[in-house]
Amino acid sequence: MDYMTIIMLVVMLVVFYFMLIRPENKRKKEEAKMRSELAVGDEITTIGGVKGTICAVKETTVVIETGADRVRIEFTKDAIGSKAAAAAAESK
């Protein structure tokens, strides 16, 4: 009976790892890759919902232009939520 309990605990830990921990690590890795590949001209959306086009990329920050009034705002790379390539935005 003791072996069965230990086996069930091990199985639960393995399931927990593959259902929760591994997908989260994969998502974090993809976000880090996306942030490291930011380039001038990419259209981005910040985690706060600000949309704009990157006009300068620095070591830890990016400068974006928002809208037709060409307001420039500087954000840390960690504040970038998603990006769409400039070519995809031009085809709209």
CA distance 72 to 63: 6
Average pLDDT, the chain: 89
**pLDDT one-digit tens code per residue, 37-72:** 999 999 999 999 999 999 999 999 999 999 888 899
- Residue 41 in contact with residue 29, Cβ under 8 Å? no
Answer positive or negative: Cα dihedral of 30, 36, 40, 44: positive
Query: 51 and 66 in contact (C-beta within 8 Å)?
Result: yes
Task: Classify 82 as helix, strand or coil.
Answer: strand
Task: For residues 20-25, give the mean pLDDT.
Answer: 92
